[in-house]
Amino acid sequence: MHVPMHDYQAEYRTLKAEIDGAVQRVLERGRPDWGPEGPAFEEELGRLAGLRHMVGANSGMAALKIALLALGIGPGDEVITVPNSDIASTSAIHHVGAKAVWVDIEADTFNMDPALVEAAITPRTKALLPVHLYGHPADMPALAEIAQRHNLLMVEDACLALGATVNGQPLGTWSQAVAYSHAPSKQLGALGTAGSVGTNDPAVAERLQLFAGYGQRRQRSYLVERWRDPGLDLLVEGVNERLDEVQAAILRAKLPHVPAWIEKRRADAHAYTAAFRGTAVTPPVERPGCRHTYRNYVVRVPQRDEVLRRLAHAGVSSAILYAPPLHVQPVYAHLGYRRGSFPVSEATCDDLLCLPIGPFLSEGERAYVIETLLAITHAL
């Protein structure tokens, strides 16, 4: 048996008619730019994510940058985030000219530890940027309370957490903006690169739209081919990191399936967790009040690298994602951190392992992963 981390071919086979139809619709419309697919996707995604406004972007990294730009964060500002994430969580802050300040995480959720945030706040701190890693929401009520007390903005990196909630409330409830990635391996993936950024604040939404598309009012772009072209208003220096029409159409084809796909991820996770309880394999937590959407199912195992090797030998793909942490990566060597700077991030990164999960993992494959992993850890 071979169990992949993601079975893209199975996904395409299942959705072939809808995806082919979506691409064809864009090709035949003759409106390759500023067409109707982007706004339609934004409305549908807003409904799915429980937010009033969504703006398409061409990656999760772009979504984070657009959010920071729209909130006026730039040179001279500090933004507090975590070292155990995709580099985009940190590099987006640097790309807008601000400075990222890392704080360590909670060992059980892998997310920003609210108890460590206040010690990192300086007079220059402008915002918090928590990450909902692997699909488990960060402690938003606690972080929002800190942000409010110190008059800070908040941008959420929900690139791995579409559909996650805290106390039944969607992500974006506690912050000014929340960024999603639609990279192919995320809960809602494009066939290439795509992202989105959401908010419940209409004034922020307008600025997100401006910054995503050159700084020009978008309504004008949608009317540009009509006789009553209202003329070009350039209001801010934006970027051109919009969602394109083909990806928007493909995402619209997949979007109706996302709730069932998330339920399948949760069912896989619960089956794994039941099987691993009381063994050498430590399952992930799902905190009370939190809805984890399991982009990754992350266990902690002794002799992790050897376990990964033996799993691969038995045909089971697994992965070490968002590890080692950013502060020990060559790109940030000049910042002067080393091992020991963020001990919880380091310890989790040393023994975590992501197992196959998701809509196209069969029950037989899931059972094989459990049986194989338990046999390997017993034998070590």
Positions touching ligand PLP (CB under 6 A) are 59-61, 85-86, 88-89, 131, 157, 159-160, 181, 183, 193, 195
Nearer to ligand PLP, 38 or 366 (CB): 38
Q: CA–CA separation, 121 vs 327, rounded Å?
A: 19
Closer to ligand PLP by Cβ: residue 249 or 376: 249
Which is closer to ligand PLP, CB of 88 or CB of 177?
A: 88
Tell me the pairing of strands 53-57 and 78-81: unpaired
Q: What one-character-per-residue DSSP string does 339-363 give?
A: TTSSHHHHHHHHHEEEEP-STT--H
Q: Of the two residues 103 and 160, which places its CB atom closer to ligand PLP in the complex?
A: 160
For residues 21-42, one letter each, b for 16 or more C-beta atoms within 10 angstroms of the residue's C-beta and e for the rest, the string is ebbebbeeeeeeebbebbbebb
The separation between the first and the last C-alpha atoms of the chain, rounded to the nearest angstrom, is 22
Least distance in angstroms from the C-beta of 60 to ligand PLP: 2
Taking the complex as a whole, how short is the minimal distance between the CB of residue 168 and ligand PLP, in angstroms? 23
Q: What is d(CA 295, CA 183) in angstroms, rounded to the nearest whole number? A: 12
Strand-pair partners of 282: 300
Among residues 183 and 373, whose Cβ is nearest to ligand PLP?
Answer: 183
Reported as type and span, the H/E element at residue 155 is strand 153-157
Residue 39: HSE in the Cβ half-sphere, 13 Å Cα cutoff:
9
Q: What is the closest distance, in whole angstroms, from the C-beta atom of residue 188 to ligand PLP in the complex?
A: 11
